[in-house]
């Protein structure tokens, strides 16, 4: 997949992403083997369960991919700490495959704290989670240009048949 031209003033090309089945805004960057999502609204137990559901579903088709969650569009956080523990335990137990990276971005201190909690809970698991307050550092850690993590490119709409061919290409 060829990258689209770089935005003005940018030195990094922004690859075309593709919307994939799941919550609104879920996208796949094949060139970087990255699934990214920017949830909106309230981060609560229900949204956390939604994250687990789509990640598990995508893992069934594409075993090993890095993840990026951008919490900058959350309006509030109303999550039980115990649910974060349960979520982490369940994810560690469910995950089968090669080690992957999960970058969690949030400039808000509360959201960043939740991300750091998850990071610590995922230590010594194949899901290497890391919390970030800086997109450039997150991009370096995930191996993608920081422009990609702005999630500002125009994704190609989701198409189940096309998605299946993308997955076949990614696993080749």
CATH of the domain at 33: 3.30.750.24
**Per-residue burial over 13-25, b = 16 or more CB atoms within 10 Å of its CB, e = otherwise:** bbbbbbbbebeee
Do the domain assignments include residue 13?
A: no
pTM: 0.81
Q: Report how far apart, in Å, the C-alpha atoms of 51 and of each of 5, 6, 20, 56 are.
A: 31, 30, 14, 8
pLDDT per residue, tens digit, the chain (172 aa), is 334 344 444 454 444 788 777 777 888 998 999 999 999 999 999 999 988 888 888 887 776 899 999 999 999 999 999 999 999 999 999 888 889 999 999 999 999 999 999 999 999 999 999 999 999 999 999 999 989 999 888 778 765 544 444 445 554 4
Do the domain assignments include residue 130?
A: yes
Do the domain assignments include residue 5?
A: no
Per the structure, how many domains does the chain have?
A: 1
Do the domain assignments include residue 119?
A: yes
* Residue 9 DSSP symbol: T
Do the domain assignments include residue 158?
A: yes
Q: Helices in 29-147 by DSSP H: which ranges?
A: 45-61, 81-94, 109-121, 135-142
| Structural domain that includes position 70 | 18-171
């Amino acid at each position: 997949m060829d990258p689209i031209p770089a935005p003005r003033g940018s030195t990094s090309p922004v690859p075309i992403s593709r919307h994939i089945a799941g919550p609104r805004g879920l996208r796949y960057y094949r060139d970087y083997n990255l699934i990214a999502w920017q949830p909106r609204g309230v981060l609560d137990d229900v949204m956390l369960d939604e994250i687990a559901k789509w990640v598990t579903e995508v893992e069934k088709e594409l075993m090993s991919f890095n993840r990026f969650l951008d919490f900058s569009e959350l309006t509030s956080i109303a999550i039980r700490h115990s649910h974060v523990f349960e979520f982490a335990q369940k994810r560690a137990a469910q995950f089968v495959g090669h080690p992957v990276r999960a970058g969690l971005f949030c400039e808000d201190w509360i959201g960043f704290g939740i991300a750091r909690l998850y990071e610590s809970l995922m230590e010594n698991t194949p899901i290497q989670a890391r919390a970030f307050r800086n997109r450039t550092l997150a991009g370096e850690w995930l191996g993608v240009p920081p422009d990609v993590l702005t999630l500002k490119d125009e994704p190609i709409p989701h198409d189940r048949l096309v998605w299946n061919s993308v997955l076949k290409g990614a696993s080749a």
